[in-house]
Amino acid sequence: MRTRKLGNLEVSALGLGCMSMTWGYGPPADKQEMIKLIRAANDRGITFFDTAESYGPFVNEALVGEALEPIRDQVVIGTKFGFDIDQRTGTRSGNTNSRPEHIKAVADAALKRLRTDRIDLFYQHRVDPLVPIEDVAGAVKDLIAAGKVKHFGLSEPGIQTIRRAHAVQPITAVQSEYSLFWRGPEVGLLDVLEELGIGLVPFSPLGAGFLTGKIDSNTKFDANDFRNQVPRFSPEARKANETLVEMVKNIATRKRATPAQVALAWLLAQKPWIVPIPGTTKLHRVEENIGAAELELTAEELREIRATLANIQIQGERLPEAALKMTGL
């Protein structure tokens, strides 16, 4: 697979989001099957793997660590801190916690779970309104000086937060939702990232599955699936948003590709420093997604997509209200 650069960190053009293997989309998948899947993804060229302490909590990092231990020097691991989770018991308060001493405790615990001596990319998962971002960046700077962390990242930050943090410790990557289903980063974020030389790692690049064309207004989600709480995934919103999926399907048919491949290829075409991290628990989906890295959308096709998007009003918020309040965009 081709590679791209997040700042000066080189990774595969597509990464693998591992959250859904243990959390968020229903019951956890079989652990041994997910270990095989992660290693198979690497065999097929994926070198960038995304996890977080909060996915579980802890179990996702442990899964990723076990899967990647035999090939540790061939891969890049991104994980996250920033929630108030007891490192001994896994008890979480639901609040953010980016106090410097907590960040350092999270790093030490994550290193053990990931079975490694360094975290390649350490993101603040959500900005903590009670801790100045300069203190957060300073704590990660200390971890980098100690050799425990290689690169600093932020997830869902505001633009001024990025500037303030970057002045203390250069940011390698910002993670944010971005897809044909939600284009918020186009309002200012992409410009500041380009200015500062920071990469973008879009999560939910397939609109939490909606852009694959496999979800419609009649789809029933598992009781533990987070999409049950998302306004954009109400049956009414799904029905209203089908126009977007039809556009993607039409282009996919012409390109002899799948809707997922078109959606990912569109993201890759936006900037050379964008690295999406689609998540899946199925090997054939990994292989399908990898195909997007070789799919070229022409300038005319990109203009067609832009023109169509301008006439589509997406219905429903992308996250529940409480979660939206924790984001900077």
| Residues with a known catalytic role | 55
List helix spans (H) across 44-188.
59-68, 100-113, 133-145, 159-168
- Checking DSSP bridges between strand 3-6 and strand 9-12, what pairing results, if any? antiparallel
Q: Tell me the one-letter amino acid at 51.
A: T
| Category of 48 on φ-ψ map: left (φ > 0), alpha (ψ -120 to 50) or beta | beta
The helix-helix angle for 133-145 and 159-168 (nearest 10°) equals 40
d(CA 71, CA 202): 25
Among 2, 23, 28, which Cα is nearest to 13's? Answer: 2
Q: Dig out the tokens for 158 from the structure.
A: 């505001």
Give Cα 270 to chain centroid, integer Å.
Answer: 16
What amino acid occupies position 184? G
Token pair 């095989």 is at which residue? 36
DSSP state of 206: T
- Integer angstrom CA distances of residue 208 from 17, 282, 319: 12, 15, 11
| Residue keyed to tokens 């491949």 | 261
